């Protein structure tokens, strides 16, 4: 049984993988949850090459049942969950007047409803001192008309994090969201590796619900 376990929902090649490496190097076993099974296995191999214990769990953020199943299975495999990070998101372009309501609903499922589902699935396994992290973005605070859907989704996720923080702090469970005030890009200040360092700092300090990653 691992001594410390982090579950990352929405584990992709950017923030998800960089965060897995950072926390893995700090002694966490990593459960990677995402919809692309082949990519997940590649990420597991990459982590294991760094002597990081990792396992892949297939789920699709469009499906609440698959998220629940993956998180419960991760707990069975590792025996515990200490940190849950929700990093799944959508990125649809277009102004609100042209946005199909069905597309907005589908995007909200990934951006916010899936986050709530993941938290509720993990909560029975979280003890005092556990952590829940949700990755946000500038569009949730400063919306843009040509990114209406993701602006709404990130705003909803931000409010969800704040209300979860209000509820769970009394139980000793820290909930925080990182608002990334720029667009993630490798080899820049907004690189996944730099953001992962900030996420680790949040998990260590456990202070305040909203953290920001700003320009230098």
Q: Taking 90 as the threshold, does the pLDDT of residue 98 lie above it?
A: yes
> Residue 34 in contact with residue 12, Cβ under 8 Å?
yes
Question: For the chain, first and last CA: distance in Å?
Answer: 40
For strands 5-9 and 29-34, give the pairing.
Answer: parallel
Q: How far apart are CA 139 and CA 144, in angstroms?
A: 7
Question: What does the pLDDT look like over 134-163, one tens digit per residue?
Answer: 999 899 999 999 999 999 999 999 999 999
Region 5-213: CATH code = 3.40.50.720
- Is residue 50 over pLDDT 70? yes
Average pLDDT, the chain: 95
pLDDT at 216 over 70: no
Domain ranges of the chain: 5-213
φ, ψ for residue 176 (rounded to 5)?
Answer: -140, 150
Question: How many of the other CB atoms lie within 10 Å of CB of 102?
Answer: 8
Task: Give the residue-averaged pLDDT of 128-138.
Answer: 95
Q: What is the pLDDT of residues 52-93, one digit of tens each?
A: 999 999 999 999 999 999 999 999 999 999 999 999 989 899
């Amino acid at each position: 049984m691992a001594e410390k376990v982090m579950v990352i929902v929405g584990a992709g090649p950017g923030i998800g993988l960089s965060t897995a490496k950072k926390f893995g190097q700090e002694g966490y076993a990593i459960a990677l949850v995402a919809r692309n099974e082949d990519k997940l296995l590649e990420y597991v191999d990459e982590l294991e090459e760094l002597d990081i214990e990792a396992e892949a769990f297939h789920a699709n953020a469009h499906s609440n049942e698959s998220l629940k199943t993956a998180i419960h299975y991760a707990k069975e495999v590792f025996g515990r969950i200490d940190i849950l990070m929700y990093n799944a998101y959508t990125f649809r372009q277009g102004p609100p007047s042209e946005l199909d309501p069905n597309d907005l609903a589908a995007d909200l499922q990934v951006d916010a409803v899936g986050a709530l589902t993941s938290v509720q699935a993990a909560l029975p396994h979280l003890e005092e001192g556990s952590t829940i992290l949700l990755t946000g973005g500038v569009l949730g605070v400063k919306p843009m008309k040509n990114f209406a859907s993701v602006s709404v989704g990130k705003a909803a996720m931000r409010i969800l994090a704040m209300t979860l923080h209000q509820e769970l702090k009394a139980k000793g469970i820290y909930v925080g969201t990182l608002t990334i005030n720029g667009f993630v890009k490798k080899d820049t200040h907004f690189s996944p590796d730099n953001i992962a360092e900030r996420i680790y700092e949040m998990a260590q300090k456990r202070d305040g619900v909203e953290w920001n990653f700003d320009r230098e």
